Amino acid sequence: MNGDGPRIDTARLTLRLPIQADFEGWCELMGDEVAARHLGGVQPPAAVWRGMATMAGSWALQGHGMFSVVERASGRWIGRVGPWRPHGWPGDEVGWGLVRSAWGNGYATEAARATMDWARERLGWTDIIHCIAPDNTASQAVARRLGAAPRGPGQLPAPFESAAIEIWGSRRDL
């Protein structure tokens, strides 16, 4: 995959399909104990590669998946954000994960808002959720900025069923 496909440009970010050159950034994200804490935990490069390939495969199989997020000013890969609905998931999710050095700039909100608009327009999604750990106050703040409200505890499918999550969501008819 060479990154051809959907692309979203926001004021400060480019969201595009994952490409092999993003691998080091994915390793930075998933190798950081703090940044990876709510993304399944720290992973070695072999597992990171499989996760990145899963996102690329989601695009091929479902026509959507996490976008790679690139900071326009620097060209630096800073995370992955986007529409995500694996088998057994509790709903149509827009999720986010950014490298720690990109935190605090409003990038998660900017990218998630753009992908929510894209998912509504291109995928017809009207009810978008965010699966957030109860102690992840930073992501809860992003969800609030996106207009989402807590809906209560949720359940992920196996093998993630032991993860404590709250479902946040917003509904908007097309």
- Domain span at residue 163 reads 7-171
Closest to 154 (Cα-Cα) out of 146, 163, 165: 165
Q: Stretch 9-33: mean pLDDT, rounded?
A: 97
The residue among 16 and 3 whose pLDDT is bigger is 16
Across the range 60-83, mean pLDDT stands at 97
Q: Hey, what's the torsion of the CAs at 69, 138, 30, 166, to 10 degrees?
A: -110
- Sheet of 77-84, strands arranged across: 7-9, 13-16, 67-71, 77-84, 92-98, 127-132, 165-171, 149-154
Counting the structural domains of the chain, the total is 1
> Is 1 domain-assigned?
no
What are the backbone angles phi and psi of residue 24, rounded to the nearest 5°?
Answer: -60, -40
User: Per the domain annotation, does 2 fall within a domain?
Assistant: no
Residue 125, domain member (yes or no): yes
What are the pLDDT digits (tens) for 101-145? 999 999 999 999 999 999 999 999 999 999 999 999 999 999 999
Number of helices (H), then strands (E), belonging to the chain: the values are 4, 8
- Using alpha carbons only, how large is the chain's radius of gyration in Å? 15
- The CATH number linked to 78 is 3.40.630.30
Q: What's residue 3's pLDDT?
A: 57
pTM for the structure as a whole: 0.93
SS3 state at 48: helix
- Please report whether residue 30 resides in a domain: yes
Q: What is the pLDDT of residue 1?
A: 44
Strand partners, 129: 93, 169
CA distance between the termini of the chain? 31
